[in-house]
Amino acid sequence: YAPGMCYPAVADPEVVVELERELREKGFNVHRGIVASSDAFHAEEANLGAWSSVGAVAVEMECATIFTVARIREVKAGAALLVIDNLATGEFFEAGAEERKRLELKAAKGALNALVSIRF
C-alpha cells in the first residue's frame, strides 16, 4: 500500500476517541489496542502467540489497509470491531444470527453518531 517502505497502519486518535465514547454510551464494553491484520481467514491461529506477545488484542482482515491508505490520502480513519470469536480461549459467539445482527446494527449506529462529532 506504500511501495518501497514500511508504513505504520495507525487509526486517527480523534476517530478512536469518538468511537469509544459513542459505543460506551450504547452499552458496549470497549477495549483499545493493537489489532493484527491478516489476509488469511483463520490462518491467524498459527500466529496468535506471536501477535499476542507484541500486544495485539484482536485479529481482523482490513484495518491495516484502511488506516494506511487513509494516512497517505490525509483522511481520518478508525475502526470499531465487534468480537465474535475468542481464539485465545476457544469461545465462540453462540447467541445466533439475529442477536449478532442486532449488535452489528447497534454498533453501526454508534459509529455513525461518532462520525457526526468528528471534524473532517
For each of the domains in the chain, give its residue range(s) and CATH number, in order of start.
13-117 (3.40.50.1580)
For residues 8 and 4, which has the higher predicted lDDT (pLDDT)? Answer: 8
Residue 1 has pLDDT above 60, yes or no: no
Instruction: Work out the burial of residue 25: count CB atoms within 10 Å of its CB; fewer than 13 is exposed, 13-18 middle, 19 or more buried.
Output: exposed
What SS3 state is found at 50?
helix
Please report the pLDDT score of residue 50 as a whole number: 84
Please report the pLDDT score of residue 88 as a whole number: 76
Per the prediction, the chain carries an average pLDDT of 88
Q: Of the residues 25, 39, 62, 85, which is catalytic? A: 85
Please report the pLDDT score of residue 46 as a whole number: 73
Q: Evaluate whether 74 touches 10 at the Cβ level (below 8 Å).
A: no
pTM for this prediction? 0.84
Catalytic (active site) residue 12: no
Please report the pLDDT score of residue 43 as a whole number: 61
Kindly report, residue by residue over 62-94, the tens digit of the pLDDT. Answer: 999 999 999 999 999 999 999 888 877 888 878
Residue 3 banded pLDDT, cuts 50, 70, 90: low
Instruction: Work out the burial of residue 48: count CB atoms within 10 Å of its CB; fewer than 13 is exposed, 13-18 middle, 19 or more buried.
Output: middle
